[in-house]
Structure 1
Amino acid sequence: MKRILAIDIETYSDVDLIKCGAYAYADSPAFEVLLFAYKFDDEDTRTVDLAQGEELPEEVKAAVFDAAVVKTAFNANFERTCLSKYFGVRLSPDSWHCSAVQAALLALPRSLEDVGALLGLERQKLKEGRDLIRYFCIPCKPKKSNGDRTRNLPIHAPEKWELFKTYCIRDVDVEYAIRKKLKNFPVPEREMELYRLDQKINDRGVLVDKELVRQAVSADLLHKDIVTKRAYELTGMENPNSVAQMKEWLNEQGVEVESLAKKAVRELIQESEGEVQELLKLRLLMAKTSVKKYEAIERSVCSDGRVHGLLQFYGANRTGRWAGRLVQVQNLPQNHLPDLELARKLVKNGRFEEVELLYESIPNVLSELIRTAFIPKEDYRYLVADFSAIEARVLAWLSGELWRLDVFATHGKIYEASASAMFHVPMEEVTKGSPLRQKGKISELALGYGGAAGALISMGAMDMGIKEEELSSLVSTWRKANPHITQFWWEVDKAAIQAVTEKKRTQAGRIVFEYRSGILFVILPSGRKLSYVKPRMEMNQFDRRGLTYEGIGENKKWCRIETYGPKLVENIVQGTARDLLAEAMLRVDKAGYEIVMHCHDEIIAEVPEGEGSVEELCRIMAVPPVWADGLPLRADGYECSFYKKD
C-alpha cells in the first residue's frame, strides 16, 4: 500500500486569490509559504514554521517529489501550485489526490468546513481561521496604529500566530477525517485519470493577447464616458447609472417602469421614441458588462502571458461537468461579426474612432472579441472541434427513440426532422427559416426534459413569433412525436422512487439505480455514479408525493431539493455527455494534441503549424466508447489563429 502524505499550507501573497486564482496568486513575487502542516499515514500531524526560519524535514521534501508517495489535500490544486512555486519546479499532478474531488463525486460541498460539518466530524475546521488568514495572509492597510506597515508578521501578534499554527494542523486533521469517513467511496481510477488530465490542462493554461485586452478595457472606459456624458446632457441626472434616478426621469416623461433589466428596457425601446428612446438605448450601452471578462483576464494572467486554472474538475456536482472559473469560459459571448479580424485589428491598434464609424455598437464589438483574446503561441494554431447536438443524441440513445437515432446516423437535421414528425409533413417542405422549422427548433431546445409552455417561453418562443395559444399544443405534439422519450422520463421516475423506498437495485433502460449508505446512486452507462444525498419521499410543489434529496441549491446553500423523472433524465443526459467529452479528451491527449481549454462539448487544442488536422481531431472525438455502442457521434471543427466561434 502506498504511503500517504497529507498537506495543508498557509501562504501570503499580494494577489487576490478569489479574483485571480491560485496560479496568479502563487506567481506573485511577494508570494511566500508561511506554514507547512503535514501528516504521514496515521502519524501525528506536525507543522513547520517556515515564516520564522524553520526548514522542511528532508523526509517531507523527498516525499513531495516521490511519485510512489500519494500527496493529498483538500483542493489539492492550491497546495500543488503553491509548492511548485516554492520549490521552483512544476510538480506533476500524477501522485496527488484531492479530497475535495472525492467529496464532489458524492455531491457533497467543495468547502472543507461544510463537508466536515455535514459529515458530523468530531473535530471541525476552526472558525477563527478566516480572521487569521485576513491578518497574516493578505496585505494590511498602513495606519498610525500599526506603524504604517503593509503586512502583519508573526512578531506582530505572537499569540495569534500560535493559533494560526493550530488552525493549519486542524485543517490536515479534518481532511484526514474526511478521507477516513469516505474510505468506502474511493475516487474511481478513470476519474483519477481525468483529474490528472484536468490538472495538466490547467497547468498548461492558455495564452492571452495582452495588448488586445488592454485596448479593449481602454475602449470600454472611453465609450462609457461618452455614453454617460450624453445621458447627462439629455437628462441632467446627477448619476445616469442610478436606477432610481433613471426611473424618476422616465416617470417625469410619462413613462412608468417597474424594471430596468435588459429585457424590459429592450421592450420599452420598441414602444418609445425621441429622447426617451435614446436614453433607454444609452441605458443598455451603460449596462453592458462584457468588459468584465477582459478585466478578469488582466487580473488572472501570469508572468508567462497565460491564464491558468480556467476550469474546475467536477465543478457541477449534480452531473460531474466541468465548471468555468475566473474568466468563465463556459459562457463567453458568441461572435457574429462578418469581419471579425478587421474589428479585432482596429481595437488592438487603439483605432477607436474607426470602430465607432464602422460598427453600430462598441460594447457589442468588444463583447464579440472576448474569445479572440485567447491566442496560440508563435508558430502554432488552434484546432477546435465540438460534438454535434450531443444532448439530443444521448437522449435519443438512452430512451430508444429510433427515428431520432436514424436522423443522427444520417443527415443529422434534427430540427427539420422533428418538425416533420410533429406536423406530419415531408421533411423537404421544412425549409430553413420556415415557421415549421422554427417550431421544430424551439421544441427541441425546450421540451426534452419535461418542459411545457413555460420552457418554450423562456427559450424565446414568443420572440420567434409563436403565439401563446399555440404553446400547449406544441408541447403535446412534440411528446406524441417522441413517445419513447416521454416514457423514459416516467420509467426513470419510477425506478428512482422504487430504489429509495424499497432499498433495492432498479433499472430504467441503460440506467441503474441503487440505494446505499443514505445515498441514491444513479449509475450511468459509463459506470460513473451520480449521487443524491439522503433521498426521501415528501410532498412537493405539485401537492404530490415526490422524491427529494439534500444538495447545494440555487442559493448556493445546502438544502433539500425536489426532483422528478424529467429532471433526473436531464442530469443523466448531461452526465453522459460529460463522460463522452471526458473520454474524447483522454483520446485527444493520447494522440499528442495539447488541450488548452474545453467549453461544454468543445475541445480547443494548441497545435504546431504543419502538424495534426481538424479532420483527425474530429475523427478521434467521434469514436464512441465501448460503453456507448449504437450511439451515433459526430464532431465538427475548424482551425484559427485566435479563438472564435466558427
Structure 2
Amino acid sequence: MKYISIDLETYSDVDLQKCGVYRYTQSSNFEILLFGYAVDGGAVQVIDAACGEKVPIEFIKALTDDSVTKWAFNSSFERVCLSVWLKRNYPHYFSSYSIDEDTVRDYLDPAAWKCSCVWSAYMGLPLSLAGAGTVLGLEEQKLKEGKDLIRYFCVPCKLTKVNGGRTRNLPEHDMEKWNLFKFYNKRDVEVEMSIQDRLKKYPVPDFVWEEYHLDQEINDRGIALDMDVVENAIAFDAKSKAELAEKVRKLTDLDNPNSVVQMKQWLADNGLEMDSLGKKEVAQAVKTAPKELAEVLLLRQQLSKSSVKKYQAMQNAVCEDGRARGMFQFYGANRSGRWAGRMIQLQNLPQNHMPDLEQARGLVESGNYTALELLYDDIPDTLSQLIRTAFVPRTDMKFVVADFSAIEARVLSYLAKESWRSEVFKNNGDIYCASASSMFGVPVEKHGENGHLRQKGKIAELALGYGGSVGALKAMGALDMGLTEEELQPLVDSWRDANPNIVRFWWDVDRCVKDTVKNRVAAETHGIRFFCQSGMLFIQLPSGRRISYVKPCMGENRFGGEAVTYEGVGGTKKWERIESYGPKFVENIVQAISRDILAYAMRTLSHCFICGHVHDELIIECSMGVPIDAVCEQMGRTPPWISGLLLRADGYECSFYKKD
C-alpha cells in the first residue's frame, strides 16, 4: 500500500459550520457513518459503519503508517475525524506527534497526509469538490443530491409528530436514501481521484506540502482563549445594547430602534434625509445634524456595532482544553496562495487604540460592568477593542508577536529595482516620509519638518503601488483624511514620477503576459518567468512556486482596449471570467512572494510554538526567557532564493494578544 484516498460521512450534534471540525468531533455523539476509500487508485470500497460493518485492520494500520500517503479533499476534516475515532475505538493504534509540552497530542501527524483541495487551489481551481470537478470537466461529477442527504443523516432533525418524535434520522428510517448516500460517498472518492489524475502533470512542489504540514500543526495546536473575558463580554454587550435601545426609544418613540427603515423614517420626519445608515454616512451626518438628531445617530451607531459576533465565534469554536483550533485555511486566497481566516477570522480583528487597554480588560475579565460603564462612554467600542485580548498564552508563558516591516513595499521595490526606496529600507527609514519627500522634492520628517506631507505619502503608498489612480485614493479614504478632489490626480502623477521603475515594471509584466497568452511562448522580466501549458498561464516565482491562471485568452477590457482574461473566483465569489492587466498581475506577484517569505519564516521558526498568524505577523507562544530579538532575527532572515532583498522583523511580548 502506497497511498489511500479517503472520504468520510459523519454525524454530530455540534454545528460544523459554526464550530469547526475540532469542536465538532469533541461531541460525545460524534461518529463516522461511512468510510469511503480506495487503495493505490483501485476500486472504491464503502464501509457502512452505521449499519455495523467493520473497518478492515489494514485501513486502521495505514492511518498511522508514515509510509502510506493519505489523500482527501479538505483532508484536515478526515484527519481530525479519524484522529478522534481512532483514539476512541482503537487507542492502541493511535499515535500523535511533536513533544509532550505541545497541544497537538490528540491528532494524527499531518506529515503523511495530502489534500486534493490544496492541489486544486494551487492550480487556481475552485476550493470545492463540485466546483473543481465541473471546471475540469470530469466524467464523474459530485452528486447534487448530496446536500439533502447530509442534511437528512448527518445533523440532528427537528422533532415532529410525523417522524415519531425523533431528533435524528438513522439508515432504517429511509433505506432508499441511505443506499443513495453510500453511492454519494463512493462518488466523492472517485471524483477526488479523478482530480488527482487530471492534475498529475502539475505536481505541487514538495516544499509547499511541507508548508501545508506546518499549517496543519499550527491549526492542531490552536490558541488559548480567556473564556472569562469572552463570556463576560457577551453578557456586557447584551446589557449595554438593552440600555442603548431604551435610550433611543425614549428619544424617538420608535418600537424598534434597531430597524433601519424605522430610523430612516424618523430622521426624515425630523428633517434629515439619509440614504444609508452606514458608519461613514452617519459620521458625516453627525457633523452637521442638529444636536438632538446627532445624539440619536451616535446612539444608533453604538447599537449597531457587531463586536459581540467575534466573542460568539470564540464561544462556538473553543475546545474542551480552552483552545480554539482550525483558524487558518492553507491556500485560502486565490492567486497569491495566502492563508484565509476561518471561524473567528483573526485576519480581520478590530485594532485597539486604548491607552488603558489592560485596565478595561481587567474590568471585563472580573465581570465589573458598573465600573466599565462608569469609566467608558462607549461600551460596544470598548468591547470591540478588547477582542484581541481574549487570546492568551498558557500559564507561565508569554506571546511574542513579530511581523515584517512594510513587506509588500520592500518586495515591490526590490523587483522593480527602485533603488532610492531600497536605500530607505537599508537605513531603516520611514517609507511614507521618503515617498512624500520624493514626490514633493522637500525633506519630510515624521512629527518634524514638512510632517504634514507624510499622510499624503502614506495614502499614496497604500493606494498607488499596483496601478491605482484617483479611484483607489478615494477608496482608501483620501477625502476623509482631508485631501481635496483637486489634489488627487496631481498626487497620482507625483507618485508615478517618483517611482518610474515601478511603473515600468507594471508594463513590462503586462507585455510579458500578453506575449505569453497570444503567442504561447515563454517570457521573462525582473526574474519572473511567464509561460502557458495545456490551457493554463503560469507565473514562476523566485521561490519555485507558481501562480496559476485557468484558460487565459485575449479579450477586451471595459475601456475597449486589449486585455488578458482568465477564469477564476471573482468579486462576486462565483466562478467567472476575470479581466486583468499588468499592475494587477504585479499585485498578485508581490503578494505571492510576500506570502512565500512568511512561509519561509514560519519554517525557520517551526521549532517554536507558532499558534497564529495574521497577514505578515506571527503569534508565538513561548517561555518567559525567550528573547524577542532572537525571534525577530530569525524571522527577518532573507530566503536564499531572493538574495539581496532587505527584510526587517519587529516584535513585542505580551500577556494577551494586542496590536502594539
TM-score range normalised by the length of the shorter chain: over 0.9
Letter in 2 for 1:643: Y
1:617 equivalent among 626, 631, 635? 631
Tell me, in whole angstroms, the C-alpha distance in 2 between the residues paired with 1:290 and 1:363.
7
Deviates more, 1:631-640 or 1:419-428: 419-428
Counterpart in 1 of 2:403?
386
Counterpart in 2 of 1:130?
147
Q: 1:468: how far off? A: 1.1
1:603 aligns with 2:624: no
Deviates more, 1:580-589 or 1:430-439: 430-439
Mapping 1:537-576, distance limit 5 Å: 537-576=554-593
Tell me, in whole angstroms, the C-alpha distance in 1 between the residues paired with 2:108 and 2:535.
37
Q: 1:275: how far off? A: 2.1
Q: 1:429: how far off? A: 8.7
Unmatched 5+ stretches in structure 1: none
Q: 1:54: how far off? A: 1.2
Q: 1:417: how far off? A: 0.8
Q: 1:124: how far off? A: 0.8
Tell me, in whole angstroms, the C-alpha distance in 2 between the residues paired with 1:465 and 1:123.
58
- Per-residue CA distance 1:355-404 (angstroms, 9 max, x = gap): 12212211111111111111001111111100000000000001000000
1:335 and 1:368 in contact (8 A); partners too = yes
Counterpart in 2 of 1:35?
34
Counterpart in 2 of 1:84?
83
Tell me, in whole angstroms, the C-alpha distance in 2 between the residues paired with 1:115 and 1:249.
50
Unmatched 5+ stretches in structure 2: 88-93, 95-106
- Per-residue CA distance 1:114-152 (angstroms, 9 max, x = gap): 111111111111111111100000000100111111111
Q: 1:42: how far off? A: 2.6
Deviates more, 1:278-287 or 1:391-400: 278-287
Letter in 1 for 2:587: E
Tell me, in whole angstroms, the C-alpha distance in 2 between the residues paired with 1:173 and 1:441.
52
Q: 1:435: how far off? A: 2.0
Tell me, in whole angstroms, the C-alpha distance in 1 between the residues paired with 2:41 and 2:282.
62
2:515 and 2:521 in contact (8 A); partners too = yes
2:251 and 2:296 in contact (8 A); partners too = yes
1:580 equivalent among 586, 591, 597? 597
Structure 1 runs (4+) deviating above 3 angstroms are: 427-430
SS at match of 2:605: helix
- Per-residue CA distance 1:258-308 (angstroms, 9 max, x = gap): 111111111111111222111111111111011100000000111111100
2:507 and 2:583 in contact (8 A); partners too = yes
Letter in 2 for 1:15: V
Counterpart in 1 of 2:91?
none
Mapping 1:150-161, distance limit 5 Å: 150-161=167-178
Deviates more, 1:348-357 or 1:321-330: 348-357
SS at match of 2:359: helix
2:367 equivalent among 337, 350, 358? 350
Rate the CA distance shift 1:543–1:564 in 2: closer, same or farther, 3 A. same
Q: 1:460: how far off? A: 1.6
SS at match of 1:146: coil
Letter in 1 for 2:173: H
Aligned residues: CA RMSD: 1.1
- Per-residue CA distance 1:495-554 (angstroms, 9 max, x = gap): 011011110110121111011111110111111110111111111111111111100011
- Per-residue CA distance 1:448-500 (angstroms, 9 max, x = gap): 11111111111121222111101100100010000000110000000011011
Tell me, in whole angstroms, the C-alpha distance in 2 between the residues paired with 1:42 and 1:211.
50
SS at match of 1:464: coil
Letter in 1 for 2:598: L
Mapping 1:92-107, distance limit 5 Å: 92-107=109-124
1:278 equivalent among 295, 299, 313? 295
Counterpart in 1 of 2:654?
640
Counterpart in 2 of 1:440?
457
Letter in 2 for 1:632: L
1:25 aligns with 2:24: yes
Tell me, in whole angstroms, the C-alpha distance in 2 between the residues paired with 1:492 and 1:435.
35
Letter in 2 for 1:55: K
Counterpart in 1 of 2:44?
45
**TM (normalized to structure 2)?**
0.96
Counterpart in 2 of 1:294?
311
SS at match of 2:576: strand
Mapping 1:421-436, distance limit 5 Å: 421-428=438-445, 431=448, 434-436=451-453
Q: 1:430: how far off? A: 7.6
1:221 aligns with 2:238: yes
Rate the CA distance shift 1:433–1:596 in 2: closer, same or farther, 3 A. farther
Tell me, in whole angstroms, the C-alpha distance in 2 between the residues paired with 1:21 and 1:521.
34
2:444 and 2:454 in contact (8 A); partners too = no
Q: 1:411: how far off? A: 2.5
Tell me, in whole angstroms, the C-alpha distance in 2 between the residues paired with 1:238 and 1:144.
37
Letter in 1 for 2:166: R
- Per-residue CA distance 1:8-63 (angstroms, 9 max, x = gap): 11000111111111111111111111110110013211111111111110111111
1:324 aligns with 2:341: yes
1:528 equivalent among 545, 548, 552? 545
Deviates more, 1:634-643 or 1:275-284: 275-284
1:373 equivalent among 380, 390, 409? 390
SS at match of 1:145: coil
SS at match of 1:220: helix
Tell me, in whole angstroms, the C-alpha distance in 2 between the residues paired with 1:458 and 1:406.
30
Q: 1:431: how far off? A: 2.6
- Per-residue CA distance 1:193-228 (angstroms, 9 max, x = gap): 000000000000001101100000001000100011
1:22 and 1:81 in contact (8 A); partners too = yes
Letter in 1 for 2:651: G
Letter in 2 for 1:541: R
Q: 1:413: how far off? A: 1.0
Tell me, in whole angstroms, the C-alpha distance in 1 between the residues paired with 2:486 and 2:334.
38
SS at match of 2:633: helix
Letter in 1 for 2:346: V
Q: 1:433: how far off? A: 8.2
Tell me, in whole angstroms, the C-alpha distance in 2 between the residues paired with 1:390 and 1:122.
44
Letter in 1 for 2:653: E
Letter in 1 for 2:288: E
- Per-residue CA distance 1:72-106 (angstroms, 9 max, x = gap): 00000000010111011521101101000000001
SS at match of 1:321: coil
Letter in 1 for 2:123: L
Tell me, in whole angstroms, the C-alpha distance in 1 between the residues paired with 2:39 and 2:68.
10
Counterpart in 2 of 1:412?
429
Tell me, in whole angstroms, the C-alpha distance in 1 between the residues paired with 2:204 and 2:81.
24
Rate the CA distance shift 1:432–1:572 in 2: closer, same or farther, 3 A. farther
2:255 equivalent among 215, 229, 238? 238
1:142 and 1:149 in contact (8 A); partners too = yes
2:416 and 2:526 in contact (8 A); partners too = yes
Equivalent pairs, count: 642
Tell me, in whole angstroms, the C-alpha distance in 2 between the residues paired with 1:349 and 1:270.
37
Tell me, in whole angstroms, the C-alpha distance in 1 between the residues paired with 2:415 and 2:27.
49
Tell me, in whole angstroms, the C-alpha distance in 1 between the residues paired with 2:369 and 2:47.
54
1:593 equivalent among 594, 608, 611? 608
Tell me, in whole angstroms, the C-alpha distance in 2 between the residues paired with 1:455 and 1:120.
38
SS at match of 2:618: strand
Rate the CA distance shift 1:428–1:557 in 2: closer, same or farther, 3 A. closer
